[in-house]
Structure 1
Amino acid sequence: MDNKTLNFKTSDKVFSPKSIDKGTMEMISKVEFNSEDKVLDLGCGYGFVGIYASKIAGVEKVVMVDVQDKAIELAQQNIEINNITNATLIQSDGFKNMFETGFTIILSNPPYHVDFAVPKNFIEKGFNRLTVGGKMYMVTKRKEWYKKKFISIFGGVKIWEVDGYYIFMGIKNSMKYASK
């Protein structure tokens, strides 16, 4: 991480309130950000990933999305606390109320302790929101289902395993559209 300081308000009503989740940190350590990137923080929680991309990585545009009222409230406060000017915050259940496209990077630490409905939607719909050459990163503690899903949608996947976490990266190599 850069020597810039980020500050966050959190709550026990959102994911990982006491510190940044280790899986999330491992995921962003694998990303090569460029200033021209357009980044989607999908399931942003209180906003760490999007704010990091904006402030530390210096990307051109960041869109942050979450379904929870409390997450949106905290992310908005954290955008203001960290003086972020190039981020858009949208309350949406995945892509239902989020219509932007042209992302070069999509980052997500989806809920993976329940069923696969949310990550399935994120991967399938996320593919269609990426530019050709755009990358989707996702971190989970499960491997096989995600590996198969990334391969079925992206045609391949790169996987890193770090301390019980799996970081997946799919690259959109063509204009094909995901099924469903």
Structure 2
Amino acid sequence: MRYAPYELALKSRVSGARSIYRFHTADGVCSKRSFRNAELLLVESLWETDLGHFLSLEANYGVVGVVLADRADAVHMASSSARATRLCERNAIENDADATTTLVADITTLDWSFDTVAYAPKPYTPLSVGQQRIADALSVLRPGGSLYIAASKRTGLTRYEQCLRELAATVEQRSEYDGCVLLEATRPPSFEPPTYATPRELGVEINGVTLSLITVPGLFSPSQLDSGTRLLLETTTIEDGEKVLDICCGYGVVGTYAGRVADCDVWLSDDDRVATSCAECSLRASGVDGTVVTADCAEGVADQTFDRVFCNPPTHAGADVLSELFSGIHDVLAPDGELAVVHRRELDLRAHLSQFDTIERLRTANGYVVLRVFA
């Protein structure tokens, strides 16, 4: 991550805390310009709580974990986003907070158990994903440990409270702040987490080639191949002997297809560890060898050079993310290499592609445009 242009300052309102905590934020994370009420509720309500070994789940840019590091015996911040993980690490250093940060798809794979877990679901989190995180959070607690959920009706409070009452030993409403409610649940003596976000295998045919793709709820277009990616692959070609990068790979459609149609060296990269976990499964299910990395933009492949790069970019992530993404692609594209990009027709990516010498429109169909770009 090259740019973290936003800085937020949180003034303490409790005794024993530092006077000000400072946080760097950027495009691509939730609530980059202001603190979330749910996280503020967690911080203030848990300040006087005996936290023990504490986990901040889906920690965003680290507000909850950084502040409560002054109160807990040990703090762990977990995130499925490489960009968010980097910000958590940076903000822990900025505030001299003793906290460990992990990029992880599934917290049940962590080697630790915790006395306390805190989770503030983000807006638009699919219900099944939020429920799975709650179940997994209960499973990594020590028996009798506490899970705190801070949510509003807009972020799924009613459904999450119902989920907790089905799974936890006890559930109580602890406090409220500006529409957000803090729920405290305790882990029962024995607990096996149910599965809410069930992996799904998609059988997809592209240009006569059948792929087996593994997806889960919460990823982009998890139930069917999106029209933009299909158009991208139907419009472009891949040759034997090329080194190919599928960047912003999601669950691995392009990289898996490339490995099926050509004898090429396939690399896949995405910011989301859940996505890259599925991409690894898609490669195996389709009998394709490839290298998968989890990293922000092109950071995970910065030491490589590619003949051909494919990208269906996350246009919702913000201008800085797109500029950094395409700048990184420019740096790893071979001098005679080619970038193929698909985007919705109403968008204009020319400003983000300004480093490239040549931009050609190959095809327009179904509301999408495919561009061929040369360094």
Q: TM-score, normalised by structure 1?
A: 0.86
1:50 aligned counterpart, secondary structure: helix
Question: Highest CA radius of gyration, 1 or 2?
Answer: 2
Runs of 4+ off more than 3 Å: 1-4, 142-145
Is 1:157 the counterpart of 2:362? The answer is no
Between the two structures, name the one with larger relative contact order (CA 8 Å, sep ≥ 6). 1
1-side partners of 2:309 and 2:364: how far apart?
19
- Could you say what the CA RMSD is over the residues aligned between the two structures, in angstroms? 1.7
Letter in 2 for 1:65: S
* Structure richer in strand, relative to its length: 2
Which of 139, 161, 164 is the equivalent residue of 2:342?
A: 139
1:153 aligned counterpart, secondary structure: coil
Relative to 1, partners in 2 of residues 1:100 and 1:84: Cα closer, same or farther, differing over 3 Å?
A: farther
Which residue of 2 is the match for residue 60 of structure 1?
264
Kindly report which structure 2 residues correspond to 1:12-51, keeping only aligned pairs within 5 A, or say none: 12-51=217-256
Identity over the aligned pairs, expressed in percent? 24
For each residue in 1:52-77, what CA deviation from the matched residue of structure 2 results, as whole angstroms up to 9, or x when unmatched? 0011x214101000111210111111
2-side partners of 1:106 and 1:97: how far apart?
14
Relative to 1, partners in 2 of residues 1:67 and 1:148: Cα closer, same or farther, differing over 3 Å?
A: closer
Letter in 2 for 1:153: Q
Which residue of 1 is the match for residue 281 of structure 2?
77
Relative to 1, partners in 2 of residues 1:4 and 1:133: Cα closer, same or farther, differing over 3 Å?
A: same
Relative to 1, partners in 2 of residues 1:142 and 1:153: Cα closer, same or farther, differing over 3 Å?
A: farther
Which of 303, 309, 315 is the equivalent residue of 1:112?
A: 315
Which residue of 2 is the match for residue 177 of structure 1?
none
Q: List gaps (5 residues or longer) in structure 1.
A: 173-180
Which of 7, 10, 14 is the equivalent residue of 2:215?
A: 10
Q: List gaps (5 residues or longer) in structure 2.
A: 1-205
Q: TM-score, normalised by structure 2?
A: 0.43
Between the two proteins, the alignment pairs up a number of residues equal to: 169
1:133 aligned counterpart, secondary structure: strand
Which residue of 1 is the match for residue 302 of structure 2?
99
